[in-house]
Chains A and B, each alone.
Chain A
Amino acid sequence: MEYGVATAQRSEEIDRALAQAAGVAAVEAAARPPYDEMHAPDGSVRPHFAALARRLADLDPGELDERQRTLERFFLLQGITFTVYGAESTTERIIPTDLLPRIIPADEWAQIEAGLTQRLQALNLFLADIYGERMILKDGVVPRELVLGAPSYRREMQGLYVPHQAYANVCGSDLIRQEDGAYAVLEDNLRVPSGVSYMLANREASKRTFPGTFRLAGVRQIDRYPDLLLTTLRSMAEWRPNPQVVVLTPGVYNSAYFEHAYLARLMGVPLVEGRDLVVHDNMVYMRTTTGLRRIDVIYRRVDDDFIDPLTFRRDSSLGVPGLFNAYRAGTVVMCNAPGTGVADDKAVYAYVPEIIRYYLGEEPILPNIETFLCREPSQLSYVLANLDKLVVKAVGASGGYGMLIGPHASLAQREEFAQALKADPANYIAQPTIQLSTSPCLIDGQIDDRHVDLRPFILSGEKITVTPGALTRVALRKGSLVVNSSQGGGSKDTWVLAGPGDDLS
């Protein structure tokens, strides 16, 4: 039981901290106003927003509204839509997009970039370790059953060679800004993160809307993303001359289909579905008009469960029978590697700062949000006593489902959640309610503040690259803290400003 000690120490520490903080910190947090991205507390415009503020002062709301409609038309025409399946008819909607960019100054970005690079480096090492020697489990830094018992842990991946130890080739981490303005990581997405097409499409739109301001501000370019993605994917099959890369999509009915087609088009590689692929003698081929053609790298946008009905879920028709065996045989590379989900598990998340210290011997540059693991009895009782102040999340869920926002929930909802917590504590974590920062948005023709988060995209292959831009997700309902698109969230462009040493590209 060599791993029991650290856990015990950890929970003791937390207990001490809790005893001091309980009742004080949480109440205080709820009362503190959110960080305002554009205005300083004294009401003046922050310097990096100055150019935009001047432009906005010149435009009357009618003009802005018209630009907003032009933008929506552009999205509809381009087919940048997601499908809403209803009882009567099926309609397509655009993801609500806000005109006004969110702006990040160079020094803040430098910290984000360094922090995300460090984090993904550590998480890749962590994945290589838990599917290899398992040193971190033996040393008791992360509880063994937390990792090996997670549904997203894939035993099939054990002992498999992954080039450059790059398990999560594409990562989209969700950052938030706390009340004091400090960035923190809310969540890592290492499975099949989406949203990058909105980052690129929003940029096209905001360039059209604010061309002058865009030029003046000195915004760093993001349009090399497809190029960098292709380079990253190719670096995973260096032993093959001119490797054939494909994007694997579940198909046209998937809500992110637009993004799959968009990336394939911009990279100039085929967009394939499971039914286009054939495995023969552990080699993967695609069916073309002139016969079968071999494939080397699959950028898969299909979840682990559905990749290969012979290895994972048998009832899946999206995958390719035999694909995983070919992957094990090393004739084809899948990106991201199967089983990366265990590293973005909400319970493992709590240990990421430890993971960074363990592998890199460095302090985390970007902090975590304080997290209570309900699997620990002492932490569970604290969570149950403070349900009205905390956000409780199911470990396995994503997209804003299976979540309780304490301060906004009714007594009945909280009691229902308390029952669920007691029944299966290991399935839940809790975090203090953070007032996400606010940024100005155009709502019904008027400029008003809404809560936002930040999802930058990090590529890792031979090396790690952070694209200087991000998807800023917006909670369009006033006061709401939920930014997921499935829950009524929208998005906006994110301008990362160039510093003295930065090239615009």
Chain B
Amino acid sequence: MMLARVADSLYWIGRYVERAEHVARLADVMLTATLDRAETAAQVARIALSAVGDATPERIATPFESSRGLALDRLEGNSVVSSLALARENARQVRDQITSETWERLNLVHLRLAGAGAAKSFNDGSSAFLHDIIADLHLFKGAADATMSHGEGWRFLLLGAHLERAQLIGRLLEVCFGRGGERLDHPTLTAVLRMSCALEPYLRVYTADVRARPILEFLLLNAEFPRSIRFCTDEIEAHLSVLSRHTEAVHVGPGRLAGRLKARLQYADMAEIEREGSHVFLEGVLAECGDIHRGVYDAFVAYPLEMRLPA
């Protein structure tokens, strides 16, 4: 049992932190690609910028500025600094619910990004700067895991993180392999794996055979890699089934949706997905993630009072 507002905030902390980490990684990969051939750099920039929303030709042509924008522009809704400010604002609202260790990690990375020295640090060494942000966010997750009770609040935090991750990876795959996707060259495919933090785990499964189809298979269906959509849906289902235990039977919504999505990925077959068109499958998965998000709200946060008043 916890306050509905608190559950909502924890859920959003999970989402925003996940988003910040993903965007920081995209910005980093985009910068690294500028060292490659111009066509590759442009392709990587297009993918990275499309995956977070805004890929105009000017922005693709100026990867350094775009990368700095993704990291530090407060006016950009998806930038790392914006996401972390929101995560921290939510954390402040539930300061009594998270441990000091967890709070300190988040507060620290927020202060560093929002502080006066951030732009200079970025200009002095952008890759190192982004790398440190990602490492700090891992520390936050580690602190949450190691110091918070693994009860309801922690589950809402992880539910948010995994739902966000499934949607972010889904969107990235859609940009790369969905409708109207162009043929990607080898360095670009490697960059896509880096954007999902999947290069090393991928190589261990498929060796250095970097091709579009196994990449799609790995990021979609791998059971063990924590950023594959299948892994995320397993987690979402697991957290929701525990969280739903105490809600009344009428509110089976999000748990049922999550179970169905989990089964869909668990029993999916790559050949079948390709026959239908991978974009159809990806669109379906993203739509169901959206439904789960709304279902969580209806069941736990914004439920109608009439149904819960004592008789």
Contacts and interface: CB of A to CB of B under 8 A. Distances in A.
Contact of B7 (A252, A265, A289): A289
A31 interface: no
Nearest to B88: A79
B108 A289 contact: no
B143 to A, nearest CB: 13
Interface residues of B, number: 33
B3 A287 contact: yes
B124 interface: no
Interface in B223-255: 243, 246-248
B302 to A, nearest CB: 9
Contact of A292 (B104, B300, B310): B310
A261 B107 contact: no
Interface string A251-275: 1100001100110110000111101
Given A76-B111, A278-B305, A289 B95 contact: no
Interface in B1-30: 1-7
A286 B3 contact: yes
Contacts of A78: 100, 103-104, 107
B305 A289 contact: no
Nearest to B104: A77
A66 interface: no
Interface string B272-311: 0000000000000000000000000000110101001110
Nearest to A247: B96
A283 B152 CA distance: 26
A261 B309 contact: no
Contacts of B305: 278, 287, 292
Nearest to B299: A289
A288 interface: yes
A10 interface: no
A77 B108 contact: yes
A235 B310 CA distance: 26
Contacts of B300: 289
A463 B4 CA distance: 35
Contact of A261 (B1, B3, B95, B308): B95
Contacts of A283: 310
A280 interface: yes
A76 B93 CA distance: 17
Contacts of A79: 92, 95, 103, 107
Contacts of A262: 95-96
B89 interface: yes
A264 B92 CA distance: 13
A286 B1 CA distance: 11
Contact of A287 (B4, B94, B103, B310): B4
A251 B3 CA distance: 14
B5 A264 contact: no
Contacts of A289: 1-4, 7, 152, 156, 243, 246-247, 300-301
Nearest to B98: A265
Given A252-B89, A257-B92, A291-B308, A276 B104 contact: no
Contact of B95 (A258, A275, A290): A258
A290 B246 contact: yes
A290 B1 contact: yes
A46 interface: no
A293 B1 contact: yes
B144 to A, nearest CB: 16
B310 A288 contact: no
Interface string A321-343: 00000000000000000000000
Given A257-B92, A271-B96, A288 B4 contact: yes
A409 to B, nearest CB: 38
Interface string A137-160: 000000000000000000000000
Interface string A370-388: 0000000000000000000
A280 B309 CA distance: 8
Closest 4 A/B residue pairs (Cβ): A261-B95, A265-B96, A264-B96, A291-B308
13 contacts: A78-B100, A78-B103, A252-B89, A252-B92, A261-B95, A265-B97, A271-B95, A287-B4, A289-B1, A289-B7, A291-B247, A291-B303, A293-B1
Given A270-B6, A280-B309, 14 more contacts: A78-B103, A252-B92, A262-B95, A270-B2, A271-B94, A271-B95, A288-B2, A290-B246, A291-B247, A291-B303, A291-B308, A292-B305, A292-B309, A292-B310
